[in-house]
Amino acid sequence: MSDKSDDAISEKILNAAKNNPKGISAKDVAAAVPELSSAELVAAINKLLQQGLFDLYNQGGSLLYKLKNQNTKTAIKGADNEEKVVFNLIEEAGNKGIWIRDIRHRSNLANTQLTKVLKSLEGKKVIKAVKCVNASKKKVYMLYNLEPDRSISGGAWYQDQDFESEFVDILNRQCLRFLQQRADKIKNNPRGPIVGRTQSFATAAEVQKYITDLGISKVKLEVEDVITILNTLVYDGKAESNVYPDGSKVYRAIESLIPPPGLVQVPCGVCPLVYKCCSTGLITPQDCKYMSAWLDQ
C-alpha cells in the first residue's frame, strides 16, 4: 500500500467521522472504505489513533471512534506563543507525560516563565500534572483528558500514586485460598495423579473470575493483574506454576518440602540478637529472657 493511497483512505475515514460527530463504529468505517480487508482496516485505524485524530470510546460494549474534539486546540487559541509551544510539547508526549525539565529543555523557557505557563494551562484544565509512581518526586504533565499510562500510574495497585500494599496482601491471600481449595486433589486421586494434578491446577482466568466474584476489588482486575499476584504466591513458595500446552499459565498451591526445621523452633533461630549473643557479656544464653520465656511456656 503506497503512502498516497494511505492518505486517501485516511481521508475517507475522517470524512465519515466528520459526518457523524457522535462517533462511528468499526462497521461504519468498513462501509466508508469497502475496498479494504479487515487487517488493512485495523492498520489504518491504528494509524489515525496514533496520530491522535481519533478518540476511542466504549459504548454499550461496542467501540466507537470519534473525531477528536478540536476544543483543546481552540482553548489554546488566544494563548500566547509560549503556551502554544509548551502545549505542543505536552501533547506530543501523549499519556506517558513529559517531565518539567524536559519541557524546559526543549522549549528554552526560563524556569519562572515556564511555571507560569504551566499554571495557566492547568487553570484552563487543558493539561494536568500526574505524580509518577516509580519516582515519588517526579511529576509529569499530560493533556487533561488522558488516562495516565500504566508505567506512570502503576495500574491497579496504585491509588493516588501510593502503592496499596494491603490490597495486594488481601488479593494474595484470597488467591492462595482459591488455590488451596483444590490443592489436595492431587493426593491419592482415584483417577490417578495426572488427572489429580490437572484438577489441582487453576488457570489465571479462573482465579480472576473468583476474585471478581468476591467483589473485593473496586477496580477491575485484568488477567494480567491476577497473574502478577499469583506470581507473588510463587515467590512466596506457596504455589508453583506450569504452562499448559495452549500457552495459558496455571497455578497450584504447594507445601514446603520440609516442615519448619529445628532452627526456627528454638528462640535463637529467630532471635534478632543472635549475632551479639556470646558466652560472656551483656547478652548470654544463660540469662536470656527469650530462652526462659520459651522454656516456661
Partner 1 sequence: MTHQLGRVVSQILGRHFGEIVQQVGNDLFMYGSKTIGMIVKTTGLPRTQVIESLRTLLKFDLATFEADATVEYKLNSENILLLIRYPRYLLQMKSKYGSEAEMIVEELLQQASCTATVLLVTVMNKYKDDKEKNLNIVNLKDTFISLATAGYIQQAPVAELKDGSEIPILVPVATIVPDLDVRDLMQAMTSNLADCKDNTYWKVNYDRFHLDFRDDMMIKAITRRIDENAGELMRLMLEQMYLSSSAWAVESSPAAACDLRDLALRVHDRPLLHAHVDHYLKVLEENGASFIRRAGDAGGGQYVVRTKRAAEQLLEALLDHTVTERLGSKAARIFRLIRSKKYIEEEDIQKNAMLPNKECKELTYKLLEEHLISVQPMRKAASAGGSAKAIYLYHVKLYDAAHAARELCLRAAHNVSRVSSATRAAHARLLDKQRRVRSIVHGMRVRGEPQQNIDDVLETLTPPELSAVSGAERRLRALSAAELELDRALFLISCYFAFPR
- Scanning 17-25, 53-61, 139-147, 182-190 for contacts with partner 1 by CB under 8 A, the matching segment is 182-190
- Scanning 7-15, 117-125, 202-210, 226-234 for contacts with partner 1 by CB under 8 A, the matching segment is 226-234
Q: Which is nearer to partner 1, 56 or 278 (CB)?
A: 278
- DSSP letter for 259, please: P
Query: Given the C-alpha cell 485505524, which residue does it identify?
Result: 45
CA distances from 17 to 23, 34, 43, 195 (A): 6, 15, 17, 54
Q: How many residues bind partner 1 (CB under 8 A)?
A: 52
- Scanning 33-41, 79-87, 237-245, 266-274 for contacts with ligand SF4 by CB under 6 A, the matching segment is 266-274
**Which amino acid type is present at position 236?**
D
Smallest distance from ligand SF4 to CB 275, Å: 8
CA distances from 287 to 212, 253, 268, 272 (A): 53, 42, 13, 16
Q: Which is nearer to partner 1, 74 or 297 (CB)?
A: 297
Is residue 278 near ligand SF4 by the rule CB under 6 A? no
Collapsed DSSP state (helix, strand, coil) of residue 58:
strand
Of the candidates 249, 252, 225, 134, the one whose C-alpha atom is nearest the C-alpha of residue 171 is: 225
Smallest distance from partner 1 to CB 123, Å: 32
Is residue 268 near ligand SF4 by the rule CB under 6 A? yes
| 3-class SS shares of the chain: helix, strand, coil, % to 5 | 55, 15, 30
Is residue 280 near ligand SF4 by the rule CB under 6 A? no
Is residue 49 near ligand SF4 by the rule CB under 6 A? no
Ranges of beta strands (E only) in the chain are 24-25, 54-59, 62-67, 98-99, 127-131, 139-143, 158-159, 162-163, 202-203, 239-243, 249-253
Give the cell for residue 108.
528554552
Handedness of CA 226, 231, 237, 240 (dihedral sign): positive
CA torsion angle for 171, 174, 175, 180 (degrees, to 10)?
160
Identify any residues that bridge with 45 across adjacent strands, giving them in sequence order. none
Q: Which is nearer to partner 1, 182 or 197 (CB)?
A: 197
Of the candidates 154, 145, 160, 157, the one whose C-alpha atom is nearest the C-alpha of residue 95 is: 145
- Scanning 58-66, 92-100, 116-124, 252-260 for contacts with partner 1 by CB under 8 A, the matching segment is 252-260
- Scanning 22-30, 91-99, 116-124, 188-196 for contacts with partner 1 by CB under 8 A, the matching segment is 188-196
Q: Which is nearer to ligand SF4, 168 or 277 (CB)?
A: 277
Q: Which is nearer to ligand SF4, 75 or 291 (CB)?
A: 291
Smallest distance from partner 1 to CB 251, Å: 12
Q: Name the site residues for partner 1 (rule: CB under 8 A).
A: 134, 136, 157, 163, 165, 168, 172, 186-190, 192-195, 197, 228-229, 231-232, 234-237, 240, 242, 254-266, 268-270, 274, 277, 279, 285-286, 288, 291, 294-295
* Contact residues for ligand SF4, defined by CB under 6 A: 267-268, 271, 273-274, 277, 283, 285, 288, 290-291
